[in-house]
C-alpha cells in the first residue's frame, strides 16, 4: 500500500463509506426501487488511482446515485450545520462522471436523515475552492455547492 498520508486517508474513508451505501440501498429498496451496488476496487497507490475510479456508489433502476455520510448529525434544514452552504461533491468527480449521477444522498452521521440534491439542479450550482480538513496533509479542491432552496431534506 502507498505510504502517501492522503492516499491512506482516502482508502480508510472509502472503506468506511460502505455502511452508508448499504443503508441508503436498503432505504431505496423499501420504497420499491430495484437497487444495484457495483463492486469497489481499491487502487494500490496514489499514482494508479485514476485507473480505479468507480462509476458510482449505487444505481436505482439504472440511475446513478452517489451517497455520502457526514461526520455530523442533522435532522433537516433548521439544524443543517453549514448555514447556507451545501456541498454536493468534488467538481472533478461530477465533471468526469459517466453516467452523470441522478442524485446525491447526503446522510446524517446517525443515518436517520438526509439531504437530497438532484443533478437536474446543477444549473444553479456554483464552485468553491475549499480545504478538505479530513486529510492529514493540506489538500484543496473545487467543490460544487448547491443553493439551499434546491436541497430536499427527509427522514430515512
pLDDT of residue 1: 64
Helix (DSSP H) and strand (DSSP E) numbers for the chain: 3, 9
pLDDT of residue 66: 97
For 86-99, write each residue's pLDDT tens digit: 999 999 999 999 89
pLDDT of residue 62: 80
List the chain residues with pLDDT less than 70. 1, 136
For residue 68, the surrounding DSSP H or E stretch is: strand 63-69
Residue in 53, 75, 66, 78 with CA at minimum distance from that of residue 25: 66
Q: Is the domain 5-155 a CATH 3.40.1350 member?
A: yes
| pTM more than 0.85 | no
pLDDT of residue 92: 93
Residue ranges of domains in the chain: 5-155
Amino acid at each position: 500500500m502507498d505510504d502517501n498520508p492522503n492516499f491512506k486517508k482516502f482508502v480508510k474513508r472509502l472503506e468506511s463509506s460502505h455502511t452508508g451505501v448499504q443503508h441508503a440501498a436498503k432505504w431505496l429498496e423499501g420504497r420499491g426501487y430495484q437497487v444495484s451496488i457495483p463492486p469497489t476496487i481499491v487502487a494500490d497507490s496514489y499514482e494508479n488511482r485514476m485507473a480505479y475510479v468507480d462509476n458510482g456508489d449505487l444505481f436505482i433502476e439504472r440511475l446513478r446515485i452517489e451517497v455520502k455520510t457526514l461526520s455530523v448529525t442533522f435532522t433537516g434544514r433548521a439544524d443543517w450545520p453549514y448555514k447556507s452552504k451545501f456541498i454536493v461533491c468534488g467538481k472533478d468527480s461530477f465533471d468526469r462522471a459517466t453516467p452523470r449521477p441522478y442524485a446525491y444522498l447526503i446522510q446524517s452521521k446517525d443515518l436517520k436523515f438526509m439531504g437530497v440534491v438532484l443533478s437536474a439542479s446543477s444549473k444553479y450550482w456554483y464552485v468553491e475552492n475549499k480545504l478538505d480538513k479530513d486529510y492529514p496533509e493540506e489538500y484543496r479542491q473545487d467543490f460544487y455547492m448547491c443553493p439551499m432552496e434546491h436541497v430536499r431534506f427527509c427522514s430515512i
